Amino acid sequence: MKIAFAIVGGLIAVIGLTWIIQGNDFLLYKLWAPKQEAVRREVFEQTKSYNQGMIQELQNMQFEYVKADKNQQAALRSIILHRAADFPEDKMPPDLRSFIFNLRNQ
C-alpha cells in the first residue's frame, strides 16, 4: 500500500513540477517576447535595404501621383501619407521630403 501511495505521489509531483515549469516558461515568454520583437523591428528599420526600399516605394508612388487624375490623386495622397508617416523625413531625399510636405499641407 505504501508503494502505491509513493507511486501516485511521485506521479502527482512530476505532473505538478511539469505544470509549474511550463507555466513559468509561458509567463517568461509573455513578458519577454514583445520586447524582443520590438528590438528586432527597430534593428530592421535601421537596415540599408529597408531604408532604400521605402524611399524607392515612396518615389514610385510620387511618380504615380503626378500621372494620376484628381480623383486618383486623392486616394494616392492618403496612401502616400500613411506609408510616409512612420518613416523619418531626415532619411528622405530633399525632393521626396518636399513632395510629402506639400501633400500634408493640401
User: What amino acid occupies position 103?
Assistant: L
pTM of the model: 0.68
Highest mean pLDDT among 7-16, 21-30, 64-73: 64-73
Quote the mean pLDDT of the chain: 90
Number of domains in the chain: 2
Say if CB 58 and CB 83 are below 8 A apart: yes
> Is the pLDDT score of 33 beyond 90?
no
Instruction: Determine the average pLDDT of the residues in 25-47.
Output: 88
The pLDDT of 33-42, averaged and rounded, is 92
Question: Which residue in this structure is represented by grid cell 517576447?
Answer: 33
Amino acid (one-letter) located at 16: G
pLDDT per residue as tens digits for the range 51-95: 999 999 999 999 999 999 988 999 999 999 999 998 999 999 999
Same domain? 7 vs 21: yes
The residue segments making up the domain with residue 13 are 1-46
* Residues 57 and 95 both lie in one domain: yes
Verify that 14 and 25 share a domain, yes or no: yes
Beta carbons of 84 and 58 less than 8 angstroms apart: yes
Residues 76 and 33 in one domain: no
4 and 37 in a common domain: yes
Average pLDDT of span 7-32: 82
Let me know: does 103 contact 58? Beta carbons within 8 Å.
no
Mean pLDDT of 2-27: 83
Write down the pLDDT at residue 20. Answer: 78
How far is CA 17 from its chain centroid?
36
- Judgement on whether residues 54 and 40 belong to the same structural domain of the protein: no
Same domain, 54 and 91: yes
- Give yes or no for residue 32 having a pLDDT over 90: no
